[in-house]
């Protein structure tokens, strides 16, 4: 199972869907890639790429502010010797958060039927899912930063609930947070993120 010749060495590099790894020989990329991937992945990667390249059009203001803060803003960390280095999220972490936001804010997924529209195989049916509620599954490799993705998803859910009037997300103590004196929306978010260390 070879990698595409343009596959980057850095785990931080943004990956084009057309050069992603898939479980077969590289010679089969054009004819078999979509058939060999999980049914929803191929189409979703392309849609999320368009979402990212377009500057997160369609996302709620809170979501857009967080995505830009986490992934498009330099985060400098001081080292033990006093030098500064830039912290970056892995692309897998970035894509996971972007996908969740895209599905919730842009697509407005409510249930399995909304998710099934991304099936490129024609083999997915409603009978394959017992759940009637919204569920997103992010599959990431060991060591790719799943715990960080979970923490960012929780922070996003909290701020979305706090600042977006029609948010259906869970936000623990969001009502209390709303009642506190606030700075502008994004400056307040940035302030809280810096205090909590959620940026790195």
Angle at 3 between CA 149 and CA 148, to 5 degrees: 10
Model pLDDT, residue 35: 73
- pTM of this prediction exceeds 0.85: no
Between CA 72 and CA 63 the distance in angstroms is 13
Question: Predicted confidence band at 163 (pLDDT cuts at 50, 70, 90)?
Answer: very high
pLDDT tens for 101-136 read 999 999 999 888 888 888 888 888 888 888 777 888
Give the domain ranges of the chain.
Answer: 45-196
The overall average pLDDT reported for the chain is 83
pLDDT tens for 56-93 read 999 999 999 999 999 999 999 999 999 999 999 999 99
CB 51 within 8 A of CB 106: yes
Region of 143 (left: φ > 0; alpha: ψ -120 to 50; beta: rest) is left
**Six-digit token pair at 158?**
């909290």
């Amino acid at each position: 199972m070879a990698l595409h010749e343009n596959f980057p060495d850095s785990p931080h590099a943004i990956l084009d869907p057309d050069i992603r790894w898939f479980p077969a020989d590289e010679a089969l990329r054009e004819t078999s890639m979509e058939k060999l991937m999980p049914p929803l992945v191929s189409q979703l990667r392309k849609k999320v790429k368009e979402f990212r390249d377009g500057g997160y059009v369609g996302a709620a203001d809170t979501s857009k502010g967080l995505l830009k803060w986490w992934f498009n803003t330099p985060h400098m960390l001081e080292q033990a010797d006093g030098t500064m280095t830039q912290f970056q999220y892995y692309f897998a972490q970035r894509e996971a958060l972007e996908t969740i936001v895209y599905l919730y804010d842009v697509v407005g997924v409510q249930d399995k039927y909304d998710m099934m529209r991304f099936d490129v195989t024609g083999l997915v049916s409603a009978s394959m899912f017992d759940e009637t509620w919204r569920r997103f599954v992010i599959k990431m490799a060991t060591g790719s930063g799943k715990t960080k993705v979970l923490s960012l998803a929780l922070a996003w859910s909290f701020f979305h609930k706090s600042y977006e009037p029609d948010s259906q997300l869970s936000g623990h103590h969001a009502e209390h947070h709303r009642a506190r004196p606030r700075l502008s929306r994004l400056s307040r978010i940035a302030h809280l993120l810096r205090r909590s260390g959620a940026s790195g």
